[in-house]
Amino acid sequence: MENVSKKVQTNQYKGGWITPKTAPYIFILPALLLFLAFTVYPIIASFLLSFQTRSGGTYTFSGFDNYVRLFTDPIFYKALGNTFIILIVQVPIMLFLALLLAVFLNSKLLNMRGFYRVSFFTPAVTSLVAASIIFILLLNADYGLINYILTSIGLEKINWLTNGFWAKVSLIIVTTWRWTGYNMVILLAGLQNIPNDLYEAASIDGASPIHKFFHITIPQLKPVLLFCFVLSTIGTFQLFDEPYNLTSGGPNNATLTITYYLYNQGFNFFDFGYASAIAYVIVVFIAILSWLQFKVVKDD
Amino acid sequence: MKKMVERSFVAFILLVLLAACGGNSSSDGDVEELTIPENPEDVEGDITVWAWALEANYLEKDVLPAFQEVYPNVDVTVEHIGVDQVYQKVSAGLSSGGSGLPDVVQVENNRIKSFTSEFPDAFTNLSALGYDEHEDKFANAKIEGLKDGDGNVIAAPRDLGPVGVIYRVDILEEAGVDPAEIETWDDYIEAGKTVVEQTGNYFLGTDGDGLLRIMMQQQGSYYFDEEGNLDITSEAGENAASILQEMKDNNLITFTNNWDGQVAAMKNGEVATNPGAVWWSGTMLEQMPELSGNWDMFELPAFEEGGTRASNDGGSALAIPSESDNKVAAYVFTEFATTDVDSQILALTNRGLFPALTAAYEEPIFSEDQEYFNNQPFFQKFADTVENIPPVNHDGAELEVRSVMGSEIEAFLLEDKPAAEMLSDGEEQAAQQTGKETTE
């Protein structure tokens, strides 16, 4: 009896495409096609492009020419250096601030938590072009509010956007302003997942709030912090809007980031081969850094 | 079954790759013979035009009504697109074999070569359609820059940026400086010292490498020589650098950071002069109406007595992409928009765009005194310099080199790099960036 019914079932599907075995593939097919066309294909094509140089309107294979050029290009090193400086200075400052804010907002003593949460998150969804215009006005050396405040308390004017050092500082301030709230929300979600019994047990053992922070909060948040670190590292390597709008990469390339340099080569100078080579070098850097970060956290 | 699915994936990927490669194979036979009908009413069809800002307004509001009276059967759509987007879309369109491009597009003089060196057949040969008959109606420096290697015109000249020194009449008067006596750059620096002593401000400001380019073109030289080799450390470059160094050593020049900074410096009286192109007038009228009557111009100071006192900065042209499917209508529109004198005058009065069509200089607007400009025939003064503007070679690598030199100017003004070093470092950097040879 059992045998018969099985036979009937298989007969039903005979000759048709849709069988229990193929059905899942058919269901994922639309997503897969889009993924292949818009993700896999560009990845392969730009990899091939990075080995090509153009002459007379056509691209020809030229081996490692673009990569050789890249490693002898002083502006590339400058852009890479700028990106690393921002990475090393800005990411720790931002994540530290984000963690402080998250702990603060997680406190049961605080009223109007929703309001603060929205306020701190707003920069992440603000149009960066509009925000940059405001920052350019604030940071203007002669008429800006910030220099007005500095001079009225007896300090020297600062050339925020025309001095190489201060332009980097401005860029770090704006980036931090924009992304702190975003990381704060992720950390806040992490904080809310820490079981309360841990804190209760610690209280019974007589741990101070600072002890609790370093011995319960931070270790428990480690995976979330790692996630934020990896995300921010990738974000820093892709930093573009901020320097583009704020300083145009100047003065004298002091705020030129690696992605901005890629944009210039590709979309200003139309050298897509070279731009692709830069893109692949960025990929390698991000991969190495992410691997290192995972490694460091695991070894602890 | 699994194998079949796998196979179809492989087939799909191959298909995508093939489709992507296939784009280049078209445009083999460009031998079509086009003739422009005698009777304007015989030209018909729809065309799309891409332009930005003032030029887009000019084409839509000043040209189109007059054009449609002559060519009633051509339907023109002017699309206002930002300058960066025009270039990106044109570049993307040309890369994909010409798809999605308009019938007429605005291109700046200094950008033309960056397209034609990439895509030699990007734009329609206008000479073949009869544009040669207009060639000598334009300023030589302008039309020369719009020809391909064989001397064919590939874009129709629209506006021009003749350069003079725009100055504040009141400030110079107060300092006791007579602009008529400023004939050389040395005179200019001496005048600057006097003015700066009086005002405590600066004599001029710059936000990039514009002044360096102006000074090099003034001497008939540029970042590139005739063959397209890098020629930044030429004698002309060194002359310009030494003047810039002197300006800096005497605290005459300030770095204004960007366009807005430059406008603010002029509006606030932070600078007394601006060696710049005539198109500054549009911005001045619009953004500093309170300074009416206080501005005037004198010709660019020469490098030595009796030397050239003219140069150019900016200006654009109209080109017809090769893939346009209505070249006849595109051509008559381009021809009309660039050679109709009345339209050129509207461009100047309504938009501040200075025509490259020299026949327009005979019109009354040029000889009229301009109240804003110290009751002087401001435009005539610029028009008088046009025939002396030396033509120079704008190469396909212009943008890369300008970007390099922009950074070098910043290093010179902000980080005290000596001007001579700015040239040599810039040339080395540009050679590295572009793979170009430098002139021996």
Domains and CATH numbers, chain A: 18-66 (no CATH), 69-299 (1.10.3720.10)
DSSP-derived 3-state class of residue B157: strand
Whether residue B251 contacts residue B245, with contact meaning beta carbons closer than 8 Å, is answered with: no
Cβ neighbours of residue B246 under 8 Å, at least 6 residues apart? B189
Distance from C-alpha of B149 to C-alpha of B151, rounded to nearest angstrom: 6
Distance from C-alpha of B392 to C-alpha of A162, rounded to nearest angstrom: 32
Q: Is A250–B264 a contact, with Cβ atoms under 8 angstroms apart?
A: no
Q: Is B13–A269 a contact, with Cβ atoms under 8 angstroms apart?
A: no
Closest-approach residue (CA) in chain A for B85: A267
Q: Considering only the top CATH level, what class is B163-311+374-434?
A: alpha beta
* Closest CA of chain A from B118, distance in Å: 4
Q: Which residue has the tokens 């109240």?
A: B371
Query: Which residues of chain B carry a pLDDT beneath 50?
Result: 1, 16-31
Q: What is the band of A113 on the pLDDT scale with cuts at 50, 70, 90?
A: confident
* Closest CA of chain B from A56, distance in Å: 5
Residues of B in contact with A253 (CB under 8 A): 407
Lowest mean pLDDT, pick from A149-158, A290-299, B211-220: A290-299
Cα dist. B142→A189, B146, B162, B315, B402 in Å?
Answer: 63, 7, 10, 9, 19
Domain range annotation of chain B: 40-160+314-362, 163-311+374-434
**Residue positions counted in chain B:** 440
Residues of A in contact with B257 (CB under 8 A): 161-162, 250-251
Distance from C-alpha of B119 to C-alpha of B125, rounded to nearest angstrom: 13
Q: Is the ipTM of this complex over 0.85?
A: no
Q: Which residue has the tokens 């002890």?
A: A211
Cα dist. A200→A108, A195, A197, A206 in Å?
Answer: 14, 9, 5, 10
For B12, the closest of A22, A36, A54 (CB atoms) is A36
Q: How many CB pairs under 8 A join A and B?
A: 73
- Report the pLDDT value the prediction gives residue A112, as an integer from 0 to 100: 84
Q: Give the number of other CB atoms < 10 A from CB of residue A60.
A: 11
Whether residue B301 contacts residue B6, with contact meaning beta carbons closer than 8 Å, is answered with: no
CA angle B259, B260, B261 (to 5 degrees): 90
Residues of A in contact with B400 (CB under 8 A): 269
Q: Percent of chain A scored above 90 by pLDDT?
A: 47
- Report the pLDDT value the prediction gives residue A209, as an integer from 0 to 100: 85
Report which residue type is found at B35. Answer: T
Residues of B in contact with A25 (CB under 8 A): 5
Closest-approach residue (CA) in chain A for B91: A270
Whether residue B291 contacts residue B300, with contact meaning beta carbons closer than 8 Å, is answered with: no
pLDDT surpasses 60 at A4:
no
pLDDT digits (tens, 9 = 90+) for B134-173: 999 998 889 988 988 888 999 999 999 999 999 999 999 9
Residues of A in contact with B411 (CB under 8 A): 252
pLDDT digits (tens, 9 = 90+) for B294-341: 999 999 999 999 999 999 998 899 999 999 999 999 999 999 999 999
Q: Percent of chain A scored above 70 by pLDDT?
A: 93
Q: Is A264–B407 a contact, with Cβ atoms under 8 angstroms apart?
A: no
pLDDT digits (tens, 9 = 90+) for B162-205: 999 999 999 999 999 999 999 999 999 999 999 999 999 999 99
**CATH architecture designation of domain B40-160+314-362:** 3-Layer(aba) Sandwich (3.40)
* Closest CA of chain B from A136, distance in Å: 11
